[in-house]
Amino acid sequence: MDFAFVLIQLLNGLQYGLLLFLVASGLTLVFGIMGIVNLAHGSFYMIGAYLAWSLAGMLDSFAAAILLGVPLTVVLGMGLERLLFQHLYHRDHLYQVLLTYGLILVFEELRSVIWGDDVHGVAVPALLSGSIPLTDNLSYPIYRLVISGFCLLLAAALYWLIQKTRLGMMIRAGSSNREMVQALGINIKMLYTLVFALGVALAAFAGMIAAPVSSVYPNMGAQVLIICFVVVVIGGIGSVWGALLASILIGMTDTFGKVLLPEYAGMSTYLLMVLVLLWRPEGLFKRG
Amino acid sequence: MNNFNRRDFLKTGAALAGLSGAGLAGALLPASMAQAQSTAGKIRVGLMLPYTGTYTPLGVAITNGFKLAVQERGGKLGGREVEYFVVDDESNPAKAPENTNKLIQRDKVDVLVGTVHSGVALGMAKIVREAGVIWINPNAGADEVTGALCAPNIFRTSFSNWQNTYALGKVVKQRGHKTAVFITHKYAAGDQMMASFKDAFEKEGGKVVKELYLPFPQVEFQALLTEIASIKPDAVAAFFSGGAAVKFIKDYQAAGLKGKIPLFGPGFLTDGVLEEVGDAADGMETTLHYADGLDTKKDNAFRLAYVKAYKLQPDVFAVQGYDAGQLLAAGLDTVKGDINNKAALIKAMEAAKIDSPRGVWTLSKAHNPVQDIYLRKVVGKQNKVMGVASKALADPAHGCKA
């Protein structure tokens, strides 16, 4: 492997890491900041991907599919929070695990009923479908670079929202002491509904944006769920920057693991998690 | 989560349903009479296939194919009507023993038909070998089923993992390629297909310069595509299926490799995905025991009947299910429906010549189809047949002592 290819692999690792961050960002918010264990995160990702596929087919435009799909998932998130999640904030985490595991099964069946069990591909928007040649026989899809850009933007926006705005301050306060925040006259119920809906919308948005590169298929949520939890745990619960750094670390480990030690590639990211947790049990960044 | 999961939930449900069912039957018939009825009356066929999860379409196609074969014979095999007992195996190897036992012990099936997932099939094999019940495997390709685990009562109507990629190895060499990279998921089927490709390709004088693996079921190919570009082999052979195949073929094109390094694969790579990959698969050559455009009398009749019955296009899995029905029919016709005369039944099935939509095939000594492997080319949205890559190819049945 010569130097040019090492550089390209670095780019691959970075790009994969940013994609991971996009998928994990919703979980960072809901699990990391709000403290809700949401195993159904992967299902929302899948719903987003299927929405992108079916809406893009109906509207004949990928951008329109996203513009219409995101509000739909916000409504879905608000409905779920009002109907189900808000009853569990005071209970043990185990109840949230049970509920969200049940939701995985429900959404998987609904997906089967509504959209069927076939594999689908979503076309990359024509404007972004080109590739940039890197070497004589390898080129890089522009759409992947666009996704990376989106991810960086999203990371910055999330950081700003949580650390720099009044809303973010209320969210952080609410997750550490719900009653006190309520006593101070803040409508914590409404706030939680909003933030949860945002988390659902982020997961679904990730599914939509990733659909053209990942294709759309049953059980796709299960595959991203575990890696999302790994991202949040390595990054440190509650830290957006931690999650971003962890995503990129995992992306690099996975990429070079596959190339250098193909036989053990399945283990490399989990090995990374073990090492990080031995070194810093609370994750790379503590809540700050 | 460990304390109460989906399985427990289903078990509770099944137990409740079972209680009410058993109560009803018990009230109407003494147990011994019910038993006697079953041996004199219908042939009890257990279908153990995936009806939920990723492999659902495959399970459905196999079921449809099998039932079509039975319907074409007036709903009877060897003069006896057929009664179905259905279990959804969820493609979950952990539940394979439990599900197999349900059909063998609770439902007392005469014949077991299943399944898609190789891990589940290996779980079934162990139990079936001991129980002695006739087992027809309509898909799962694990070499062991008709290899180390072979037995007189174990039959397969699909393929062994060895077969298609062995034929492929020869094809790739014949195209004049001297070096190749093989890429697949790191699991049993991938390993077996890789091994037989390498065996055939290197026997012909080629060289597999690198084996690339991806943890199952990951689909992030970018790093490995970069690796392929840096190795610059003459050809690439890949085994993925379903969603992973769609993504791999599209990524291969997006990385600019299509047209520079030709991509080959066993037919699973391009079957059932052509609608979704667009033009990214155009011109790809694959090998499989079935193809589009065979245009034989049998295939045309089968396709017509299948579309008429199910309003669906048949695929290779439907053919395999159909042939499972045909194989059983051939055996039962010879013994005149006497399912308890197992030795004669097995002998009759072994001798059967199956007139399949894929072409005529017979069984090897280890009970795997000896069949033509076709060379196909992606033209439009079809896996068009280009010829026979390997004539009457028999699996070597490594490790079969029966």
Q: Of B223, B246, B255, which is closest to A255 when you measure between CB atoms?
A: B223
Phi, psi of B284 (to 5 degrees): -65, 140
Q: Is A140 on the interface with B (CB under 8 A)?
A: yes
CA dist A76 to A53, A81, A165, A187, B261, Å? 18, 9, 25, 21, 46
3-state secondary structure of A230: helix
Preferred mutation among A54, A258, A259 to probe B, highest tally of B CBs within 10 A? A258
Instruction: Looking at the structure, tell me whether residues B148 and B166 fall in a common domain.
Output: no
Give the distance from residue B214's alpha carbon to the nearest chain A alpha carbon, in angstroms: 7
Pairing status of strand B235-239 against strand B179-186? parallel
CB atoms near residue B337 (< 10 Å): 18
Cα B53-B56-B62 angle, rounded to 5 deg: 150
Residue of B nearest to A20 (CA): B220
Residue A271: its chain B contacts at CB < 8 A? none
Helix, strand or coil, per DSSP, at residue A218: coil
Give residue B29's Cα distance to chain centre. Answer: 39
Angle among Cα B248, A66, A203 to the nearest 5 degrees reads 70
Whether B200 maps to a domain, the answer reads yes
Asked if A12's CB is within 8 angstroms of B53's CB, the reply is no
Whether residue B217 has a cis bond before it, omega within 30° of 0: yes
Residue A97: closest C-alpha in chain B: B1
3-state secondary structure chain B: CCCCCHHHHHHHHHHHHHHHHHHHHHHHCCHHHHHHHHHHCCEEEEEEECCCCCCHHHHHHHHHHHHHHHHCCCCEECCEEEEEEEEECCCCHHHHHHHHHHHHHHCCCCEEECCCCHHHHHHHHHHHHHHCCEEEECCCCCHHHHCCCCCCCEEECCCCHHHHHHHHHHHHHHCCCCEEEEEEEECHHHHHHHHHHHHHHHHCCCEEEEEEEEECCCCCCHHHHHHHHHHCCCEEEEECCCHHHHHHHHHHHHCCCCCCCCEEEEHHHCCCCHHHHHHHHCCCEEEECCCECCCCHHHHHHHHHHHHHHCCCCCHHHHHHHHHHHHHHHHHHHCCCCCCCHHHHHHHHHHCCEEECCEEEEECCCCCEEEEEEEEEEECCEEEEEEEEEEEECCCCCCCCC
Please judge whether A9 and B5 are an interchain contact, meaning their C-beta atoms are less than 8 angstroms apart. Answer: no
Tokens of A64: 């329109």
Q: What is the mean pLDDT of chain A?
A: 89
Q: How far apart are CA B211 and CA B23, in angstroms?
A: 58
Do the beta carbons of residue B164 and residue B266 sit within 8 Å? yes
Query: Helix (H, G, I), strand (E, B), or coil: what is residue A192?
Result: helix
Query: For residue B402, what pLDDT is reported?
Result: 65
Question: By CA distance, what is A11's nearest residue in B?
Answer: B223
Examine residue B24 and state whether it is found in any structural domain, yes or no.
no
CB contact under 8 A, A254 and B223: yes
Per CB-CB distance under 8 Å, the chain B contacts of A258 are 212-214, 223-224, 227
The answer to whether position B383 is within a domain reads: yes
Burial B279-289 (b: 16+ CB within 10 A, else e): ebbeebbbbbb
Please say whether the beta carbons of A285 and A239 come within 8 A. yes
Cross-chain Cβ contact B256/A131 below 8 Å: yes
Same domain, B90 and B171: no
DSSP state of A264: G
In whole angstroms, give the CA distance from residue B112 to residue B106.
13
Distance CA A94, CA A97 (A): 5
pLDDT band at A279 (very low <50, low <70, confident <90, very high): very high
Amino acid A11 reads L
Task: Please give, rounded to a whole number of angstroms, the shortest distance from the CA of A43 to a CA of chain B.
Answer: 14
How far is residue B39's CA from residue B37's CA, in Å, rounded to a whole number? 6
| d(C-alpha B239, C-alpha B249), whole Å | 11
Minimal Cβ distance to B215: which of A118, A137, A266: A266
pLDDT 10s digit of each residue in chain B, 402 long? 344 444 444 444 444 444 333 333 434 444 444 444 444 589 999 999 999 877 888 899 999 999 999 999 999 999 999 999 999 998 889 999 999 999 999 999 999 999 999 999 999 999 999 999 999 999 999 999 999 999 999 999 999 999 999 999 999 999 999 999 999 998 889 999 999 999 999 999 999 999 998 887 788 899 999 999 999 999 999 999 888 898 899 999 989 999 899 999 999 999 988 988 888 999 999 999 999 999 999 999 999 999 999 999 999 999 999 999 999 999 999 999 999 999 999 999 999 999 999 999 999 999 999 999 999 999 989 999 999 999 999 999 999 986
Give the side-chain half-sphere CA count within 13 A for B380: 5
- Closest to A121 (Cβ–Cβ): which among B216, B230, B276? B276
Confidence of residue A287 (pLDDT cuts 50, 70, 90): low
Residues B331 and B235 occupy one common structural domain: no
Of the candidates B320, B313, B300, the one whose C-alpha atom is nearest the C-alpha of residue B371 is B320
Partner residue facing A138 (CB), from B53, B214, B226: B226
Q: In Å, how far is A199's CA from the nearest CA of chain B?
A: 23
Helix, coil or strand: residue A78: helix
Q: Do residues B43 and B83 touch, judged by C-beta distance below 8 A?
A: yes
Contact residues on chain B for A256, CB-CB shorter than 8 A: 223
| Shared domain check, B221 and B101 | no
Closest-CA residue of B relative to A10 is B223
Closest CA of chain B from A34, distance in Å: 21
Cβ within 8 Å of B, A 112-131: 112, 117-121, 123, 131
Please tell me the predicted confidence (pLDDT) of residue B33: 42
User: Does B130 share its domain with B199?
Assistant: no
**B100 lies in which domain range?**
41-159+295-367
Total domains in chain B come to 2
Question: What is d(CA A220, CA B130) in angstroms, rounded to the nearest whole number?
Answer: 37
Give the per-residue pLDDT at B200: 96
B274/B182 same-domain check: yes
What CATH number is associated with residue B323?
Answer: 3.40.50.2300
* Cβ contact, residue pair A101, B225, below 8 Å: no
What SS3 state is found at A84?
coil
B138 and B57 housed in the same domain:
yes
Question: In chain A, what residues touch B261 (CB-CB under 8 Å)?
Answer: 137
Band (pLDDT 50/70/90 cuts) for residue A135 is confident
Percent of chain A with pLDDT over 90: 44
* Cβ(B137)–Cβ(B207) below 8 Å: no
Contacts of A5 in chain B (CB under 8 A): 226-227, 229-230
Q: Are residues B126 and B55 located together in one domain of the fold?
A: yes
Q: What is the pLDDT of residues A161-209, one digit of tens each?
A: 988 999 889 888 888 888 888 899 888 888 889 999 999 999 999 999 9
Chain A positions in Cβ-Cβ contact with residue B219 (cut-off 8 Å): 214-215, 223
Are residue B125 and residue B190 in the same domain, yes or no? no
A262 chain-B contacts, CB cut-off 8 A: 186, 211-213
> Which of B222, B273, B276 to mutate to probe the A interface, most A CBs <10 Å?
B222
User: Has residue B36 been placed in a domain?
Assistant: no
Say if CB B359 and CB B341 are below 8 A apart.
no
Output the pLDDT for position B32. Answer: 42
Residues 171-230 of A with CB under 8 A from B: 213-220, 223
Beta strands B235-239 and B263-266: pairing type? parallel
Nearest to B103 by CA among B118, B94, B113: B113
Supply the ipTM of this predicted assembly: 0.81
Find the residue in B nearest to A100 (Cα). Answer: B1
Q: CA end-to-end span of chain A, whole Å?
A: 41
Domain identity same for B58 and B174: no
Whether residues B91 and B49 share a domain: the answer is yes
Residue whose token pair is 């053919």: B319
How much is the pLDDT for A238? 79
